Structure 1
Amino acid sequence: MMIEIRHLEWITVTADGRKVLGYNQEWYPEKRQKLAGCGPTVGAMIAAYVEMKEWQMPVTTKEGATSKMLDIWKYATPRMHGLYKTRWLKEGLEAYMKERGLKGTPEAMPIPPIHMLAPSFEKLKNFIAEGLASDCPVGFLNLHSGGEPIPYHWHWMPLVKIEERDGKTLCTLWDEGVPYIFNLEKWLANTKFGGGFVRVMGTERELK
């Protein structure tokens, strides 16, 4: 199995004269936004991808990405310690998409820190795979990396690919323009604080 969003180029932008994978919260203009803006930054990539499918409105530059990030900030504003609940990003995307008449349903799968209360690995794998198969990045809230090569704790990042390789289920995320690959099953088993995932289902197919 290998499922990847069809158009990585839709969330790849030109910044400072070079191509960059994804958006960066450091592009926000205000200090608090730079510190706490990972959630709305991921939300902006999801929104931009949906809008490209439905309206063919590309975001191709750092400036365009920053404008979208500022739009989503209004709907998914971080709290005192950030956007640390998956439902806050889901609800923000719901409100944004409803107001703009975009088709699609945001859905969340929170991962609690108590392992016996967490969803099964198969359920989580299917949630991510179905989200990517519907052709939209999946938001990933990582509160603790569980020993996996994930760059930050307490941080949102977009997932763009899931694959099974050598008996492992591997997910590819983007952060600060760099791709990272981690073992999903090990993350679920070893994360101390959990996190969660947000997908958007039922978006319009890209226009021809």
Structure 2
Amino acid sequence: MALPKKKSHLITVNDIVFRWLLTFRNDVLHLTVDPEDLDGQLLQAVFEPHDGYVRSHGGWERRTQRRQIKPSTVRRIVDHASANGWKPTEKCSTPFRIWAWDVDQIVPCSEDLPDDQIPIRDIASNQVCDLQFDLSLDSSWRKTLFGADVGKPFPLPNDYFALSDESRRHGLRYKVFNDGSADDWGGFIVFGIQSVDFPDVVAYATNNSSII
């Protein structure tokens, strides 16, 4: 798949010319790298923007995008992918993907936020990831979700023990739901945990319904 020349850029790494394109979808940054003039494997990397927010009209308004994608950033991603199995000179129908949690280790976000801004989406994302484990070990919630209709949301109480002080301080809200069974996991039930304030921030955990 050739990337459009408009809005894309060229970079040379290890004597190979690549074309790269950055897009913004669902509140995350998507980097696509395509070997120029080669029918090779695509590279796709997902970046959390780590934005700064302020309170506005009872909600949250984005003010600053901390994550800046520079040619040096692309170079580090290309170097990491090349050292970990990406084959830019070989044809492959499936892209080589690097997910946000790995990207943050490869290229940490070092930009600071103004004092009046809060990385509130990051707080919600971290909380949702933690809740995957806490809810899976909570026998009360396991019983509730195993017996629930698929997709029916349950608000997580503000005093739930596993909510972080930051979540409570900023009034972040979460809901949980039974997302149905996972056939690939032997019919285990999937719990969904979602941020109410940032609906795209959602995580899933598979659980054995024979164990409460």
Structure in which a larger fraction of residues adopt strand = 2
Structure in which a larger fraction of residues adopt helix = 1
- Give 1 or 2 for the bigger CA radius of gyration: 2
The TM-score with structure 2 as length reference comes to 0.29
The TM-score with structure 1 as length reference comes to 0.30
